[in-house]
Amino acid sequence: MGSGPSLAHPDAPGKGVFIIPGEDGEMLVPSVVALDANNHFLVGNAAREALLTTPDRAIYSVKRLMGRGMEDVQQELKLFPFHLAEDLAPGEVLRIKLGGRAYTPPEISAQILRQLKRNAERFFGAPVKQAVITVPAYFNDAQRQATKDAGRIAGLEVLRLVNEPTAASLAYGLDRKQNGTIAVYDFGGGTFDISVLKLKDGIFEVIATNGDTHLGGDDIDNLLIAVAVEDIAGDLKMNVRERPEVVQRLRRAMIEAKIALSSQESAAIDVELPGGVRYQRTITREMFEPMIAPIVERTLAPCRQALRDAGIEAAQVDEVVLVGGSTRIPLVRRKVEQLFGRKPHTELNPDEVVALGAAVQAQILGGGSEETKDMLLLDVTPLSLGIEALGGVTAKIIHRNSTIPASATEQFTTGVEGQTSIAIHVLQGERELAKDCRSLARFDLKGVPPMPAGLPRIEVRFLIDANGILHVSAREQRSGKEAEIQVQPSYGLTDEQVESMILDSFDNAEQDLAERQLIEARNEAETILTALRKGRRSEAWTMLSFTEQRKIEGAETRLRQAVAGTDHGLVRRAIDELNQATMHLAELMMDAAVGGALRGRNMETTGIEEGPAAPHPIGKAEFS
Amino acid sequence: MRAEHFCGECGHVQPASPTDYFSFFGLPRRLELDEAALEREFYTLSRKLHPDIYSRASAREQAWSLEKSSQLNDAYRTLHDPISRTEYLLGLEGIELEEQSKSATEKARAAGVEKKQSVPPELLEEAFELSMLLEEAKAGGVDDDLRAQLVSTRQSLTARLNAMHDELRAAWKQWDEGDSAATAAMVDVLNRRSYLRNLLREINEVLNS
């Protein structure tokens, strides 16, 4: 689940791991969600278009809002075109206004996950119910919980949350099969992570991890947009700050320029502004690099801290792996090479390597294939877990970089005679004072047997599971009674809220599903019927026997009838029938195309559109 | 004697029973240990106990695996590091470390009480000099001269800290051979080490701000 693109990935035992494409054939699904005119959700490339036309009905980089409150996102909101609900209280989960309703970040993320789920179901032709979802290593408990909630709302059982750098190392490890120390530098759209791992005989042991969940390619984009906005205000005397559609147009242009600058020395920008005026300028690498240098510099301190925590020098790292689209920037690569004193690995596609790794983890969870049977991931919790103690200080109970699952037990007692509940405030972070740490949750231990003050002995057990999520249980030792715990998650959804969101989406799901399946089936039918029309006009048609031609025509009629109806199963069967009937025709057309190519004729005159390498709509014709 | 992690007959994970970290790994209570062998055992047990292996098992087995693997990780983390291993063993033997410890500091702070500070004699002079430097820093900020002095003090204190590891290993040998006088020696090293680390922390706070 990226701030930038998200990917779906199948786990098919026996096959290698690979990426599956979306409906539009693209591998990457931009993490953009929008509402169309009918208040239906659009996800991915379609939603990205909506950003330009109706930016107030679109959301991108929702990952940056997960597990966060109003106080945290003030800076980012300035450049985001969407708006928060007005009545938000501090500590409350965010709500974003979209088309007359308000949605929480997990609900928005769930839309993206649903889309990925659909892509996977299309590929397999079967329901997909479970998922492994990746998160930044530096995500705190609230952010992880929000991601899990998003999965549930999308109708997926989240088998495991995997840290992104660790996932990347799995993909890399599968690829290389070498022991040693690896540093994974993961610079994505919204977050930065650095992880130091030890690989030994298939065990991937994370030694230390660090990062910044508020640092990514988005910050570079925002910087460029700010420059553009200032340019326009200065040179063209136009204030476009209040015009979200214009800002989005600028954003798209700046992102394209940024990408171009990774392989070119300069990039030209040409954006149409209101009134027919154009904003035109060229950005060179010479201008670009000093601009973004401070942002890149911010990634180095977490790297140094992680190395210190791991107890090693930069030079002792055997391999450095780059992950995330932002690592394509030459300046970033130079800085990383400087820090570690060696060239980082870039062979694996930095956009895809995390999804590949997640698929490997899914294979491990599924019982392992031949390749993965000796592999095991040992990850760590990135932040120290503490409890607020008297005087507002944090008492650390589980230290950062502890291998998970990890646990700690603390004793509590009452301060007042007859007290039946104890309030506990759980925090994450490294600072001394509670107010400087991240509030995870407040627990109320209820059902403490009434006794004189100081007598009850409550043992509270904190357990961080393999997902990096905290579970708490408590027992009064004398009576052996299990205390009841009521959780108020900070910036999160309660179980009830998630349940009702699942039901909400479920009510629509059944109907949605049938509708969607019919639409998809009809689309496929249209494709094959169009191809058949062309096929009819080709020479190959004349080479078919009379019987074959009649058979095709019969199947075609039945397909047209099915398409006019509402039974998607019927449409599918009719498609299959027509496919079968046209197989010989397809072969003949292929032969003609190849023959034609050899004789110098082009594709059009032979009556087919796509080249031989593409999956042909009329029949199965593969050149391998 | 190794703790029973798996049922001898059916091979399934057994409920975690409270056990000390040494028995968890089937190790005797000795301070010197083969760290490479410990790591191998940790990996072997991880492959058998980790929740990932049980993701398709019954809910009960999953819960036990979660318990067991958290115990494994806690045990490894404690035994793997020489200092925490020493502290842990001393704790098992019922020996309290002096109130220089971090948890004691936290306890004291939490209770709003001044913690007891006894300065190790050989560090008296350096501690005094350092507190002068730190006062200067707090009053007038850190100029290049002061920075150089602080860095040099940090270096010499760090060297002392590293030297303590050798002292500790010598004490281990004694203890493992059954010489109980070694206990006092180890407690002393740990206390002095703790004090040194506090000093270094203060220097770093000033230098990094």
In tens, the pLDDT along A307-360 reads 999 999 999 999 999 999 999 999 999 999 999 999 998 888 888 888 888 888
For residues B206 and B134, the answer to whether their CB atoms sit within 8 Å is: yes
Give chain A positions within 8 Å (CB) of B109.
389, 391, 393
Predicted local distance difference test score (pLDDT) of residue A472: 86
CATH class of A5-215+298-378: alpha beta
User: CA nearest B154: which of B172, B171, B142?
Assistant: B142
Question: Is B46 near chain A, with CB under 8 Å?
Answer: yes
- Among the listed residues A349, A303, A327, the one whose alpha carbon sits nearest the alpha carbon of residue A28: A349
Average pLDDT over residues B137-165: 86
Q: Give the pLDDT score at A441.
A: 81
Task: Give the number of C-alpha atoms closer than 13 A to the C-alpha of residue A237, restricted to the C-beta side.
Answer: 0
ipTM over 0.90: no
Do the Cβ atoms of B55 and A159 come within 8 Å?
yes
B18/A588 Cα distance (integer angstroms) = 74
Candidates A407, A413, A433, A462, partner chain B, best to mutate (most B CBs within 10 A): A407
CB contact under 8 A, A203 and B55: no
- In the prediction, which pLDDT does B2 show? 43
Strands (E), A418-522: 422-428, 438-446, 458-464, 470-476, 481-482, 484-489
Per-residue pLDDT, averaged over B41-53, amounts to 93
pLDDT at B202: 82
Q: pLDDT over 70 for what percent of chain A?
A: 88
| Contact flag B56-A389 (C-beta cutoff 8 Å) | no
- The residue ranking higher by pLDDT, A182 or A505, is A182
pLDDT tier at A10, thresholds 50, 70, 90: low
Q: Which chain B residue shows the shortest CA-CA distance from A365? A: B52
Which residue matches tokens 């397809």?
A: A586
Residues of chain B found within 8 Å of residue A381, distances taken between Cβ atoms: none
How far away is chain A from the Cα of B178, in angstroms, using its nearest Cα? 32
What gap in Å lies between CA A297 and CA A288, rounded to an integer?
14
Q: Is the pTM of this model over 0.90?
A: no
Q: Does B161 touch chain A (CB under 8 A)?
A: no
Contact criterion met (CB < 8 Å) for A465 and B106: no
Pick the CATH number of A385-492 from 2.60.40.10, 2.10.109.10, 3.40.50.720, 2.60.34.10: 2.60.34.10
Residues of B numbered 88-117 whose beta carbons fall under 8 angstroms of chain A's beta carbons: which are they?
106, 109-112
Q: Report the pLDDT averaged over residues A482-488.
A: 68
Rounded to whole angstroms, how far apart are CA atoms A544 and A589?
11
Return the higher-pLDDT residue of A551 and A77.
A551
Cβ separation B52–A203 shorter than 8 A: no
Half-sphere exposure of A329 (CA within 13 A, CB side): 29
Average pLDDT estimate for A547-574: 90
- Count of CB atoms situated within 10 Å of the CB of A417: 11
Is the per-residue pLDDT at A124 higher than 70? yes
Residues of B in contact with A200 (CB under 8 A): 43
Sort out which chain A residues have CB atoms less than 8 A from B73's CB and list them.
402-406
Least confident range from A228-237, A507-516, A608-617: namely A608-617
Q: Do A365 and B47 touch (CB under 8 A)?
A: no
Per CATH, the number for A217-296 is 3.90.640.10
Residue in B46, B49, B62, B73 to test binding to A, most A beta-carbons within 10 Å: B73
- Measure in Å the smallest separation between the Cα of B72 and chain A Cα atoms: 9
Chain A residue with Cα closest to B66 = A405
Q: A568: which residues sit within 8 A by CB, 6+ positions away?
A: A514, A517, A518, A520, A521
Q: Sort out which chain B residues have CB atoms less than 8 A from A404's CB and list them.
A: 70, 73
Compute the average pLDDT of residues B121-148.
83
Q: Does A619 score more than 50 pLDDT?
A: no
- Does A404 contact B73 at a Cβ distance shorter than 8 Å? yes
Count of beta carbons in the 10 Å neighbourhood of residue A287: 13
Contact indicator for A291, A227 with CB cutoff of 8 Å: yes
**Which DSSP string do the residues of A3-59 spell out, in sequence order?**
SSEE-B----TTS---PBP-TTS-S-EESEEEE-TTS-EEETHHHHHHHHH-GGGEE
Say which residues have a Cβ less than 8 Å from residue A61's Cβ, sequence separation at least 6.
A3, A4, A31, A80, A189, A190, A218
pLDDT at A513 over 70: no
Average per-residue pLDDT for chain A = 83
**Cβ under 8 Å to A: B residues 60-79:** 66-67, 69-71, 73-74, 76-77
The answer to whether B82 contacts chain A (CB < 8 Å) is no
Find chain B residues with C-beta within 8 A of A396's C-beta: 106
Confidence of residue B14 (pLDDT cuts 50, 70, 90): low
> Sorting pLDDT into bands at 50, 70 and 90, what band is B86?
very high
* Cβ–Cβ below 8 Å for B73 and A395: no
Q: What DSSP designation does A373 have? A: T
Q: Quick check: B43 contacting A, CB < 8 Å?
A: yes
B-chain residues near A395 (CB < 8 A): 106, 110
B55 to chain A, any CB pair closer than 8 A? The answer is yes
**B118: pLDDT confidence band, cut at 50, 70 and 90?**
low
Range in A505-519, A599-613, B87-101 with the lowest mean pLDDT: A599-613
A388 to chain B: closest CA residue: B110
pLDDT of A603 over the 60 cut? no
Range list for CATH 1.20.1270.10 in chain A: 498-606
Closest CA to A350 of A334, A331, A329, A327: A327
- Cβ-nearest to B73 among A361, A395, A405: A405
Within 8 A of A465 by CB-CB distance, chain B residues are 51, 66
How many CB contacts within 8 angstroms connect chain A with chain B? 70
- pLDDT over 70 at B117, yes or no: no
Interface test with B, best of A166, A179, A203 (most B CBs within 10 A): A203
Which chain A residues are closer than 8 Å to B112 by Cβ?
A: 390-391
Tell me the nearest-neighbour CA distance from A486 into chain B, angstroms.
Answer: 21
Chain A residues contacting B, CB < 8 Å?
Answer: 159-160, 200-201, 203, 361, 364-367, 374, 376-378, 389-391, 393, 395-396, 402-407, 463-466
* CA–CA min distance A329, chain B (Å): 30
CATH topology of domain A498-606: Substrate Binding Domain Of Dnak; Chain:A; Domain 2 (1.20.1270)
Question: Is the model's pLDDT at A623 over the cut of 60?
Answer: no
Name the more confident of B105 and B178: B178
pLDDT tens sequence across A37-89:
877 888 888 888 888 888 888 888 888 889 888 888 887 777 677 788 888 88
The Cα–Cα gap between A357 and A359 comes to: 5
| Per-residue model confidence (pLDDT) at position B106 | 53
What pLDDT is stored for residue B99 in this prediction? 46
**Residue A373 vs residue A139, higher pLDDT:** A139
Distance from CA of A409 to the nearest CA of B (A): 12
- Residue B104 reports pLDDT greater than 70: no
Q: Are strands A484-489 and A438-446 parallel, antiparallel or unpaired?
A: antiparallel
Residues of B in contact with A158 (CB under 8 A): none
A406, B70: Cβ pair inside 8 Å? yes
Q: In the structure, what pLDDT confidence band is assigned to residue A20 with cuts at 50, 70 and 90?
A: confident
Q: Where in chain A is the domain with CATH 3.30.420.40?
A: 5-215+298-378
- Count Cβ atoms below 10 Å from residue B11 Cβ, excluding itself: 8
Q: Which of A365, A381, A471 to mutate to test the interface with B (most CBs of B within 10 A)?
A: A365
With both helix axes pointing from N to C terminus, report the angle between A495-536 and A546-564 in degrees, rounded to the nearest 10: 150
Q: What is the dihedral of CA A212, A218, A220, A221, to 10 degrees?
A: -170
Model confidence band, residue A298 (pLDDT cutoffs 50, 70, 90): very high
